[in-house]
């Protein structure tokens, strides 16, 4: 989905669900990972997470847009636009917007586990960070450590 298509979609949803036009900008943010979108109070523009523009997330995208438009319309009308405000919660439920952004796997970070073994006693060590083999020794016998392998896990 392109910028122009996204703007048209936001304007359509605003008229259909809220009965009011959306007159500000919509921007695509490619760096968002933990949120689906953002409403800016200062200049009233919306930022949408670029990952949700794929066709398979279309229903999630519509729910996210409704969420941000709820902030937008309530803020401009002087009502409670924050998540904790009753006005926000009621209007969000009426229009069918998403309360939370669905997790599509962007928040998960892979960790590399480094596996070491003592060359003297055979004691095994698993570490998240690399160990300086010239500086550190085995805690059991004082023997020299050797890197076996490094595994990538979730």
- Give the pLDDT score at 38: 95
Q: Rounded distance, CA 104 to CA 29, Å?
A: 16
Domain 111-153, CATH number (from 2.40.128, 3.40.50, 1.10.3470, 2.20.28)? 2.20.28
CB-based burial label for 64 (10 Å; 0-12, 13-18, 19+): buried
Q: Judge if 3-95 and 111-153 fold alike in CATH terms.
A: no
- Torsion angle of alpha carbons 62, 65, 67, 69, nearest 10°? -130
Is 68 among the residues known to form the active site?
Answer: yes
* Centroid of chain to Cα 108: 10
Tens of pLDDT, residues 105-120: 777 666 778 999 999 9
CB-based burial label for 7 (10 Å; 0-12, 13-18, 19+): middle
Pick 22 or 113 by higher pLDDT.
Answer: 22
Domain boundary assignment for the chain: 3-95, 111-153
As beta bridge partners, residue 133 has none
Active-site residue identified among 5, 7, 47, 68: 68
**3-95 architecture in CATH?**
2-Layer Sandwich (3.30)
- Give the pLDDT score at 154: 53
Helices (H), 36-148: 58-77, 86-95
pLDDT-based confidence at residue 153 (cuts at 50, 70, 90): low
38 close to 64: Cβ distance less than 8 angstroms: no
- What's the pTM value of the predicted model, to 2 decimals? 0.71
């Amino acid at each position: 989905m392109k910028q122009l298509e996204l703007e048209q979609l936001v304007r359509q949803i605003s008229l259909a669900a809220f009965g009011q036009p959306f007159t500000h900008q919509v921007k695509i943010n490619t760096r968002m990972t933990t949120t689906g979108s953002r409403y800016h109070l200062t200049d009233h523009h919306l930022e949408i997470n670029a990952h949700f523009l794929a066709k398979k997330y279309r229903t999630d995208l519509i729910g996210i847009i409704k969420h941000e438009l709820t902030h937008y319309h309530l803020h401009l009308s002087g009502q409670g636009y924050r998540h904790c405000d009753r006005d926000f919660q009621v209007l969000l439920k009426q229009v069918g917007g998403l309360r939370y952004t669905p997790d599509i796997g962007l928040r998960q970070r892979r960790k590399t586990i480094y596996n070491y073994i003592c060359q003297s006693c055979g004691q095994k060590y698993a570490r998240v960070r690399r160990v300086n083999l010239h500086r550190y020794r085995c805690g059991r016998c004082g023997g020299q450590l050797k890197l076996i392998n490094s595994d990538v896990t979730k």
